[in-house]
Amino acid sequence: MSRMCEGRVVVVTGGGRGLGRAHALAFAAEGARVVVNDLGVGLNGTPAADSPARHVVDEIRAAGGEAVAHGGDVATGAGAASLVATALETYGRLDTLVNNAGFLRDRMLVNLDEDDWDAVVRVHLKGHFLPLKHVAAHWRAEAKAGRAPVARVVNTSSGAGLLGSLGQGNYSAAKAGIVGLTLVAAAEFARYGVQVNAIAPAARTRMTERAFAETMTAPEDGFDAMAPENVSPLAGWLGSAARDGVTGRVFEVEGGRITVMEGWRAGPTADKGARWTPQEAGEAAVKLLGEAGVPGAVYGA
């Protein structure tokens, strides 16, 4: 039986650990040749001693798959360009980009340094934009040459980006930005055969192990709801050619649960047909709020 990603070439950023590692192994198990990108930094983005991308490549090859490591910084133009070049030079094609790289520098806003803001927004949001830009340029050239790609992008947002999270203003802002980027890319790249979606995963990784500390022990029923491997099946499906027409969507994934997230859309509206006075505007707003749904709580509130 043919595997879902047989013959596809898939790039996974931040693929050395956690969700990225799970995605890389899952794509390889479905027949993909995988470019495993990881800068090899610690949880806060500072350099680490080992090469996690190489370890994942070794795992894939030991299981009979094909993979190559890439250690560039995808939040730079040169690093993102070399990522695409690695796929094309090694395998001659590129079908799927999984944007996953990230790290944390958590602080309450009043204590959040400008450098910590810039660093997190850079690696998450810019680290999504630049690989997407470079791979889309390749796919656009392919489409113009008459070789329309069946191309896919899977971006990684977070519940923090959808609802907010106390102590994570930088991370929440970056992850919310990724949702906006996903919507724009899906609309712009549809003409080239590119589908762009995002997942908002909840899983136990280096970034979340403190939040999920109470679930670290093995569950009695054998199902570890916080295992990152639970997220990868949906990422694999979104990155495959299995379904056409799914684009510009955000899916929350946790354990055995998949939810289609519905973002900002028009709710209750009042139109005076003329300029409001401040008093009138306030009265109208209070009335509309009474008709609107209650927003979800910010994580940690």
Query: pLDDT digits over 38-96, tens only?
Result: 997 555 545 455 689 999 999 999 999 999 999 999 999 999 999 999 999 999 999 99
Q: Which of 165, 171, 192, 240 is catalytic?
A: 171
Specify if 1 maps to a domain: no
Task: Identify the pLDDT of residue 1.
Answer: 58
Residue 167 backbone phi and psi in degrees, to 5: 80, 5
Same domain, 87 and 139: yes
- In one-letter notation, the amino acid at residue 63 is A
Same domain, 32 and 181: yes
Same domain, 242 and 288: no
Specify the number of domains making up the chain: 2
Structure tokens at 178: 């990724």
User: Any bridge partners for residue 198, and if so which?
Assistant: 155, 250
Euclidean distance between CA atoms 90 and 174, whole angstroms: 32
Q: Which of 91, 126, 172, 175 is catalytic?
A: 175
Burial class of residue 300 (count of CB atoms within 10 Å of its CB; 0-12, 13-18, 19+): exposed
User: Any bridge partners for residue 194, and if so which?
Assistant: 151
Q: Which domain holds residue 74?
A: 9-261
Report the candidate in 161, 147, 255, 154 with the shortest Cα–Cα distance to residue 195: 154
| Sign of the alpha-carbon torsion through 176, 177, 182, 184 | positive
Euclidean distance between CA atoms 258 and 274, whole angstroms: 44
Specify if 278 maps to a domain: yes
Other beta carbons less than 10 A from residue 260's beta carbon: 8
Per-residue H/E/C for the chain? CCCCCCCCEEEECCCCCHHHHHHHHHHHHCCCEEEEECCCECCCCCECCCCHHHHHHHHHHHCCCCEEEECCCCCCHHHHHHHHHHHHHHHCCCCEEECCCCCCCCECHHHCCHHHHHHHHHHHHHHHHHHHHHHHHHHHHHHHCCCCCCEEEEEECCHHHHHCECCEHHHHHHHHHHHHHHHHHHHHHHHHCEEEEEEEEECCCCCCCCCCHHHCCCCCCCCCCCCHHHCHHHHHHHCCCCCCCCCCCEEEEECCEEEEECCCCCCCCCCCCCCCCHHHHHHHHHHHHHHCCCCCCCECC
Specify if 208 maps to a domain: yes
Q: Please say if 175 is a catalytic residue.
A: yes
Same domain, 42 and 99: yes
Specify if 296 maps to a domain: yes
Q: Please say if 192 is a catalytic residue.
A: no
Same domain, 144 and 281: no
Task: Identify the pLDDT of residue 33.
Answer: 98
Q: Which of 82, 91, 126, 158 is catalytic?
A: 158
Same domain, 221 and 282: no
Same domain, 256 and 274: no
Q: Residues of the chain whose pLDDT is less than 50? A: 45, 47, 209, 211-216
The CATH number given to whatever domain includes residue 164 is 3.40.50.720
Report the candidate in 62, 90, 67 with the shortest Cα–Cα distance to residue 15: 67
Same domain, 185 and 129: yes
Q: Please say if 91 is a catalytic residue.
A: no
Same domain, 197 and 290: no
| Residues 280, 284, 287, 292, Cα dihedral to 10° | -160
Specify if 139 maps to a domain: yes
Specify if 219 maps to a domain: yes
Same domain, 149 and 52: yes
Task: Identify the pLDDT of residue 215.
Answer: 41
Structure tokens at 229: 């491997």
Full-model pTM: 0.91
